[in-house]
Amino acid sequence: MKKLAPLASVLVLVPLIAGCDLLKKGDKDKKDDGTSSTETRGGNATATATPTAKAGSTAGCTLPEDEQIKGEVVIKKGCKLELKGNPQIVENGVLKIEPGVTILMAQSSSLRVIEGKLVAKGTEKEPIVVTSANSTKAPGDWAAFHFGDKTNAGTELDYVKFEYGGSHDHGYKGAIDVQYQKSNGRISITNCTFSNNDQAAIFNHEPKGAFAKFTNNRMSKNKHSLDVHARVLGSVGAGNVFGDPLVTHGEVEESIAWPAIDAPVIVEDDISISGERAAAVLTIQPKTVLKFADQKRVHVGGKGAAGLVAKEVTFTSANASPHPGDWTGIMMVKSAANVDLTGAVVEYAGEGRNGRAAIDVYGANAKDIRGLTVTGLVVKHSKGPAFASDDHDCGPFKAAKAEGGDFCTKQ
């Protein structure tokens, strides 16, 4: 990610309903004694915090004016406020957002978890809403909720609505932008909705950035539902509705199973399956549709044992007008085992990247692939033969079918 310039802007949070008061400007110069003050306006008592979060707990509808969230800061139930700038959670700070809160994100604004955690927990009847502050809203009005490498475990987003975010500002690539994660299980996203976001609803290319929990979320009218590493996709649970395509790629070094996915999955770069310490097996649920970018492939085996279970899965081209040879195909090497393509369809593959066929056993013979199952597999619109192996013996593929081309390479 592009290194961010030092923040020069001052966070402005504008209260829009009764009881959500700004920090008084005159308080900025007062010594922080670890206490909060209470003032009465119009007969209503409202708790206001000191200008920084060092007081430990902030009650009300404000954030620290210096954009540094430390200690524990709470945005109280029902508050409505505008966020300008790029406030940061630092020094193991905790920001809690209660049900019914509405956050209006100014143009290009973001919330950054640098070191600490965010706990935003709405309810079904009182969700938290994060949306554009513009009177005429459009995808990409604001940037992202960004989670860096020191995001603490226990970060939760539950019943939150994210709308009109995902701009390219600051190098972010989704309304939720996860980068530099070095350990799994730090972020939980449940019962959230994402709509009208530019780029992806959620971006997470970190191999060790698997979600602690990801269930019952809904995505619609975004450019992409998810843009995530293949291993992150393995941490996605049940009950999600993907109204937009997903994007994935990457090395699978341990066994994972993708969930059932009701939208196309665009493979923007190779998927490589290989385990160094133990066999790595990628399981893809039936009816999944994978659309491969130009010259991309699935590579099974290499550094260690690997397998692929893809029953009734469709492997095809990502091009709007597909042609034979758009993508390379499925390549297996000698360490591949337990490859199950029962009832699968492989189409528009067969060219590039050393590929000799849509399904190619490279540097080995097909009979060397232990546990190879291809009953009902159909290969069609291939550029070149459907199958290839070093000894040109495609007998292990005889339970499959080739349409519109040669069944097996002859040389």
Indicate the helix (H) or strand (E) that contains 401: strand 401-403
Q: What is the pLDDT along the chain (411 residues), one digit of tens a residue?
A: 444 444 334 344 444 433 343 333 333 333 333 333 222 222 222 222 222 333 333 447 888 877 899 999 999 999 999 999 999 999 999 999 999 999 999 999 999 999 999 999 999 999 999 999 999 999 999 999 999 999 999 999 999 999 999 999 999 999 999 999 989 999 999 999 999 999 999 999 999 999 999 999 999 999 999 999 999 999 999 999 999 999 999 999 999 999 999 999 999 999 999 998 889 999 999 999 999 999 999 999 988 899 999 999 999 999 999 999 999 999 999 899 999 999 999 999 998 777 789 999 988 888 989 999 999 999 999 998 999 998 888 899 999 999 988 898 765
Q: Can you tell me which residue has the tokens 């029962």?
A: 342
Query: CA-to-CA distance for 327 and 291, rounded, in angstroms?
Result: 9
Dump the DSSP string for 241-294.
EE-S-EEEEEEE-S-EEPPP-SS-EEEEEEEEE--SSS-EEEE--TT-EEEEPT
CA end-to-end distance (rounded Å), the chain:
46
Domain ranges of the chain: 1-244, 246-411
For β-strands 12-15 and 80-84, DSSP reports them as antiparallel
Buried b (16+ CB within 10 A) or exposed e, 168-200: ebbebbbbbbbbebeebebbbbbbbbbbbbbbb
Angle (CA) 288-230-337 rounded to 5° is 75
Rounded to two decimals, what is the model's pTM?
Answer: 0.84
CB 223 within 8 A of CB 197: yes
